[in-house]
Amino acid sequence: MDLSYILNELGEERGNYFNAIAPPIIQSSNFTFPSVDAMRNDMHYEYEKHFYTRGNNPTVEILRKKLAALEGAEDALVVSSGSTAMSTAILANVQQGDHIVSVSKPYSWTYRLMTDWLPRFGVTTTFVDGTDPANFENAIQPNTRIIYLESPNSFTFELQDLAAVAAIAKARKEAGQEIVTMIDNSYSTPLYQQPIALGIDLSLHSASKYIGGHSDLIAGVICGTNAMMKKIFHAEYMTFGGIISPQNAWLMIRGLRTLELRLERSSQSALQVLAFLENHPKVKHVYFPFSKLHPQYELAKRQMKACGGLLTIALNTGQIDRVDAFADALQRFLLGVSWGGHESLVFPASVSFSRTTDTPNANPDNFNKVRLYIGLEDPAVLIADLAQALEMV
Ligand SMILES: *Cc1c(COP(=O)(O)O)cnc(C)c1O
């Protein structure tokens, strides 16, 4: 199935709605039946039939089909946020007393789930440096049930070798230990990295980033086998009810129409910005998987089709107020978290440091990093803006 078909046609049964090009927003909480028999029949197939919108809604269903096809997965579930996607996938695959091996520094709220929340139920996590697959292997215990990945891993974009980690889990499975591998694939989107093809079981997304793409919604995606999606649907998905509204599903379908174009623009512009920053005297280091200076450049080329628009720079300064001044001086990058929308963003690591109490003793490497998201603006405008702001350093 080609990408253009997925983005423009798949799942859209236009004959059912006046041959309208844009699908309808089925803003209905429930669905009715012509007879008791019909109701009885559908009740047991809520996963694919239309019964109640906390289960399967027709607008959301179109989106599920597209997202699954993009990932090369059998099915997908769309949930209320990226955080819901990560926590649901994890909770669905652990029991009391189980163990997780996770890449060090996963997304902040995933980390909190693993360190603060899961221990309440006897589930423990070992965090490992993910740059060497052997570290995952060595951390596996008899009760390990999940290997959790996030590649590339923000702020500095270390990678994990997805095929190698999948092979480690597969070997354990063959020896009788069920280990589910899962990855937070938000950075790359299914267009630039296809973890399932590399042997990973579940691919998870914050769709609030590129997939939504317009900084106007929060959503998450879980992709995997039919069996796994059904298992999650009939437990965590229906019980917690962390669903997406039909309205937001419709916005995501609209966002998908231009996903390929938006990514291409963001990615190409990021390469231009990278070329400017790599040679700039005020920039100490640039973190970007497709930079030749990235220690895992070869792996990046092997398992990713391209990078999106996220990159981090370390500024050549030991003074936190210069980092703040740089970010404050940017006119065309808005100060904010997140990424994946039309607008360029700047997120300085210095926000978590106090200018008055932390500076004297702090190691500059802790606060000199600034994450940039390159949006859809003219790259020449963005480079000119960076050039003037770097004067502050
Ligand atoms: C934003 C983000 C999340 C959380 O997603 P929300 O949609 O904000 O809940 C998880 N992982 C990564 C890598 C993210 O960037």
Q: What is the pLDDT of residue 113?
A: 98
Cα gap 75→237, rounded to integer Å: 14
Nearest CA to ligand 1 atom 11: 107
- List, for residues 223-237, the tens digit of each pLDDT value: 999 999 999 999 999
Q: What is the pLDDT of residue 120?
A: 97
Nearest CA to ligand 1 atom 2: 206
**Which among 88, 105, 107 is the best mutation to test ligand 1's pocket, defined by most ligand atoms within 8 Å of the CB?**
107
The total number of structural domains that make up the chain = 2
Are 190 and 274 contained in the same domain? no
Neighbours of 188 (CB within 10 A): 26
pTM for the model stands at 0.96
Cα gap 103→148, rounded to integer Å: 6
Q: What is the CATH number of the domain that holds 316?
A: 3.90.1150.10
Instruction: List, in sequence order, the alpha helices (H) in the chain.
Output: 3-8, 36-43, 58-71, 82-91, 108-112, 133-139, 162-174, 189-192, 226-232, 238-240, 246-257, 259-278, 297-303, 320-329, 379-390
Nearest CA to ligand 1 atom 4: 82
Question: Which position has the token pair 């993009």?
Answer: 70
Are 222 and 327 contained in the same domain? no
Nearest CA to ligand 1 atom 8: 82
Are 142 and 241 contained in the same domain? yes
Pocket of ligand 1 (CB under 6 A): 81-83, 107, 184, 186, 206, 208-209, 218, 220
Q: What residues of the chain score a pLDDT lower than 70?
A: 355-361
SS3 21: coil
Residue at which a domain ends, from 257, 275, 309: 257
Q: What is the CATH number of the domain that holds 127?
A: 3.40.640.10
Cα gap 384→81, rounded to integer Å: 35
Are 273 and 206 contained in the same domain? no
Are 235 and 303 contained in the same domain? no
Is residue 372 within 8 A of residue 269, CB to CB? The reply is: no
Ligand 1 centre and the CA of 83: distance in Å? 6
- List, for residues 286-295, the tens digit of each pLDDT value: 999 999 999 9
What tokens were used for 216? 């106007």
Are 81 and 17 contained in the same domain? yes
Are 239 and 279 contained in the same domain? no
- CA of 187, closest atom in ligand 1: 13
Q: What is the pLDDT of residue 129?
A: 98
Residue at which a domain ends, from 221, 240, 257: 257
Are 290 and 203 contained in the same domain? no
Are 343 and 251 contained in the same domain? no
Domain that holds residue 377: 259-390
Ligand 1 centre and the CA of 176: distance in Å? 33
Q: What is the pLDDT of residue 154?
A: 85
Ligand 1 centre and the CA of 41: distance in Å? 38
Q: What is the pLDDT of residue 55?
A: 96
